[in-house]
Amino acid sequence: MDFEVIHSYMPLYIEAFILTVKIGWAGIAISFAVGIFAAFMMHFKVPVVSKIAVGYVELFRNTPLLVQLFFIYFGLPKIGLSISAPNCGAIGLGLLGGSYMAEAIRSGLSAIPKSQEESALALGLNRRQMFVHVIFPEAVSISVPAIVANIIFMLKETSVFSAISLMDLMFTAKDLIGLYYNTTEALFLLVVFYIVMLLPVSILGSVIEKRARYKTLGA
């Protein structure tokens, strides 16, 4: 292990780390928006739209992110729709994650007992207030473990961004290995930066899961 090589590589990895985190969390934000919308459509069985949502979930859950990125980045320009590599990464990750988020949130909604709705209505809440203040918060609380697992999964999936020429962590590691053959140092830094990216999320997720579990049991 040559620490001088590691020191010289560090600025490149920091730059790649920042790019990876930005695109990764942009994709996660998109996944929440898409996932919540799809979950509502499926749970409430909205005509036509619920069928489209089910089709979307099945399509994106059963195809690899790499294939989706290739389709968006290389396929869409064939019909005149060009998307930059960073936006492609965020959109692809968001659509993939949205399919998993949709199932997680839908499961949470389905787990709420009917008695909760009846109690809320009996207390004088209208249906909108019941959903906003009672049903949805409890559904999210139940879905927290799955949501945290999906976030970690999505951040790990950023490793395929290098396939569309994004200078992410994986691209940087492969590029440096190909140029200088310092495989041990390049891979060591790759592992370190992925741990830096994922470990805080995992720890914070565990804390949130425990609080959500306590709240659910307390309720």
pLDDT digits (tens, 9 = 90+) for 121-154: 777 777 788 888 778 888 888 888 889 999 999 9
pLDDT digits (tens, 9 = 90+) for 147-190: 999 999 999 999 888 888 888 889 899 988 888 888 899 999 99
- pLDDT tops 80 at residue 204: yes
Q: Buried b / exposed e across 127-144, counting CB within 10 Å, b at 16+?
A: eeebbeebbbebbbbbbb
Give dist(CA 27, CA 49) in Å, integer.
Answer: 23
- What confidence score (pLDDT) does residue 215 get? 57
CA 186 to chain centre: 26
Segment 99-125 shows an average pLDDT of: 83
Domain that holds residue 53: 3-218
CA dihedral sign of residues 64, 67, 71, 73: positive
Q: Look at the chain and report how many structural domains it folds into.
A: 1
Give me the CATH number covering residue 72.
Answer: 1.10.3720.10
Ramachandran region of residue 166, left (φ > 0), alpha (ψ -120 to 50) or beta?
beta
